[in-house]
Chain A
Amino acid sequence: MDAVTSAPARIILICSGKGGVGKTTLTANLGIALARLGERTVVLDADFGLRNLDLLLGLENRIVYTAQEVLAETCRLEQALVKHKLEPNLALLPAGNPRMLEWLTPEDMQRIVAMVAERADFVLIDCPAGIEDGFKNAAAAAREAIVITTPEVSAVRDADRVIGLLNTRGVAPVQLVLNRVRPRMMASQEMLGVNDVTDILALPLVGLVVEDEQVIVSTNRGEPLTLNGNGSPAAKAYQNIARRLRGEDIPVEDPSKARRGLRARLMNKIRKTTGLF
């Protein structure tokens, strides 16, 4: 894609308030999925105190410079951007390294994101947990946001706080990803339902990811699920989020309401008991 003719980059903050709900996993998978769709994508790890995006992308050994050196002009932006080996449309930029705490200001963030945005179609900012300075820095340059939460009271409550802060900052649109959905528990009403969460948070749902063991496997390997294009439910969910972000109209299905036929249930039982396919 030509840098001169392309539209301004989409700058999307990925945040949750609560830690451990899947921000970084979403950023990694969404980054790969968007890159696969031909979008020049930069994922920016704004959580430089506890950075992990490099690990999830399998790029932990390739980081030399960070945004801090770029802003200090000790290196060029191209040197700090770590290109993914298997997906050249994707680059990672760590905001800083863990030894240099307390350097990033909202102005720094705006400057580095403006530089990155010149050469990208999508900039995904992986926000640290919490709603303090780390969040404020990460949010400083964001135009839109994805709030990720799980169907649990603590995660939803924290998401609500973050949404309130995003609203006062004028970040829009703010969309929701519901992660770690367990359809069976939802169907028996032993978990907050999809509609419960969207009603409470009053955000449009841009994606729904079911609990999937493959996420753990892919994290272990440092290969996001969307990289291999395997048919795991979470991989499909992440790919769908990427396509919806680009404007494709793909309805979000509530898996707890999916009516499963006798055959599907039977196959599932066989799969569970035999461990085959």
Chain B
Amino acid sequence: MTLFDFIQRLLGRQKPSGTMAKERLQLVLAHDRSDLNPELLEQMRREILEVVQRYVEIDIEEGDVSLETEDRVTALVANLPIKRARPLPALVAAAAAVGMAQAPDPEAQQELALPLACEPAEDPSPADPD
């Protein structure tokens, strides 16, 4: 603890209540406006992270999905630090798994999925999910 922090604590200084009121309101209104309860939001957060993980390696601990409000418009804001992109074959597999690719046959899918299991990603540069 720095001396400055110590003095702050000694003085019992904290945020003025008006500022706290604003922050609390913004949070509660974001939820009110979206009609999403925290449980649903958490479920959505997990699912979003799952999908994103198929494409890029992300830091789950740091990943943050929250509701923010500005000008009466509520936005779902995801802040997901990317460690690195998945190798291209894995990306195709991931796309196929969610039915977005040109639907390759199941065998080809298995083949493509293999490198993901045994080979570590070699190319950390971002790849395009084609």
A contacts, CB < 8 Å to B: 152-153, 156-157, 160-161, 163-164, 167, 185-186, 188-193, 196, 200-202
- Note all chain B residues with C-beta closer than 8 A to A152: 21
Give Cα distance in the complex from A152 to B18, angstroms.
Answer: 9
Sample of 19 A–B contacts (CB below 8 Å): A153-B24, A157-B28, A157-B29, A160-B29, A163-B72, A167-B72, A186-B18, A190-B18, A192-B22, A193-B18, A193-B22, A196-B18, A196-B21, A196-B22, A200-B22, A200-B26, A200-B29, A201-B72, A202-B71
Return the chain B residue nearest A203 by Cβ.
Answer: B72
- Note all chain B residues with C-beta closer than 8 A to A188: 16
Contact between chains at B18 and A189 (CB < 8 Å): yes
Q: Which of B18, B19, B71 has the most CB of A within 10 A?
A: B18
Contact between chains at B25 and A157 (CB < 8 Å): yes
Picked from A156, A167, A189, A191, the residue with its CB within 8 Å of the CB of B25 is A156
Contact between chains at A189 and B29 (CB < 8 Å): no
Contact between chains at A190 and B29 (CB < 8 Å): no
- What total of chain B residues lie within 8 Å of the partner, measured CB to CB? 15
Q: Shortest Cβ distance from A166 into chain B, in angstroms?
A: 11
Return the chain B residue nearest A152 by Cβ.
Answer: B21
B43 at the binding interface (Cβ < 8 Å): no
Picked from A156, A164, A185, A192, the residue with its CB within 8 Å of the CB of B33 is A164
Q: Shortest Cβ distance from B27 into chain A, in angstroms?
A: 11
A189-B18, A191-B18, A196-B18 known; 20 other A-B pairs, CB under 8 Å?
Answer: A153-B24, A153-B25, A160-B29, A160-B32, A188-B16, A189-B16, A189-B19, A190-B16, A190-B17, A191-B17, A191-B21, A192-B18, A193-B18, A196-B21, A196-B22, A200-B22, A200-B25, A200-B26, A201-B72, A202-B72
- Note all chain A residues with C-beta closer than 8 A to B22: 192-193, 196, 200
Return the chain A residue nearest B29 by Cβ.
Answer: A160
- Note all chain B residues with C-beta closer than 8 A to A157: 25, 28-29, 32
The DSSP consensus for interface residues of chain A is: helix
B contacts, CB < 8 Å to A: 16-19, 21-22, 24-26, 28-29, 32-33, 71-72
Return the chain B residue nearest A201 by Cβ.
Answer: B72
- Note all chain A residues with C-beta closer than 8 A to B71: 202
- Note all chain A residues with C-beta closer than 8 A to B24: 153
Give Cα distance in the complex from A233 to B22, angstroms.
Answer: 26
Contact between chains at A161 and B25 (CB < 8 Å): no
Give Cα distance in the complex from A193 to B18, angstroms.
Answer: 7
Give the 7 A-B residue pairs with the shortest CB-CB distance, closest first.
Answer: A189-B16, A189-B18, A202-B72, A196-B22, A202-B71, A191-B18, A192-B21
Give Cα distance in the complex from A218 to B32, angstroms.
Answer: 37
